[in-house]
Amino acid sequence: MKVLKWVWRLIWKTTMWFLIISVGLTVIYRFIPVPITPLMVIRVFEQAFDSEKEVRLRKDWVPFSEISKNAPQAVYASEDQKFLVHNGFDIDAMKKAWENNKKGKRVKGASTITQQTVKNVFLWPSRSYIRKGLEAYFTVLVELIWSKERIMEVYLNVIEMGDGIYGIEAASQTYYNKPASKLNRNQAAMIAAVLPNPRRWSPAKPTSYIIGRQSWILRQMNNLAPIGMGI
């Protein structure tokens, strides 16, 4: 009986501390830049133990007002065209992914920009049910506490955009030698085109597939209403 009480007390305390810390961090990150993410730390350790790679961590937080309007428009067109209207989950995309998975077809990613932001800021790379459950929890939390503009701002500042390159400012400086505020449509679309696998593809050496994706993204940018400021 004492053991059961001890276990229950431990579960209760752990749950309460988790809620306090998770809500607290979400509130804090609503206002201040995210200093580092679990993925950044993991990549640094991977590089440190790989003799063929240099340890590289390039990131430079910039506010949404200092990012070219082409950048959010490009990732909006490429990654999540329902970003402005969903509550963090694209139910239709999730249903399609589930059906394709049952049929053994290649599963197209159904993650929204909010979910991708959550995975980068709060979680670790994994396909476990625990990670997916935490992802859903933080997605709800972020959508409740952050504005859409803040979600996009954080996403553009923390997302992996190359080997050791994180955020739109670092990507813009690395690939185009200019600040993110000066990115044109073609450059923004090219960066967005490699996001599904930024360690395999690079805006500096685009394959024919990536050039095709860039063209598709540019067409989608024309078809979608400008996401702009104050979203």
* Residues 38-54: tens digit of each pLDDT: 999 999 999 988 877 88
Residue 98 contacts by C-beta under 8 Å, 6 or more apart in sequence?
none
* Residues 124-133: tens digit of each pLDDT: 888 889 999 9
Distance CA(156)–CA(166), nearest Å, equals 9
Distance CA(229)–CA(231), nearest Å, equals 6
Distance CA(201)–CA(48), nearest Å, equals 22
pLDDT higher than 60, residue 186: yes
Q: Say what the pTM is.
A: 0.91
Instruction: Return the bridge partners of 165, or none.
Output: 58, 162
Average pLDDT, the chain: 91
3-state secondary structure of 60: coil
Distance CA(62)–CA(64), nearest Å, equals 7
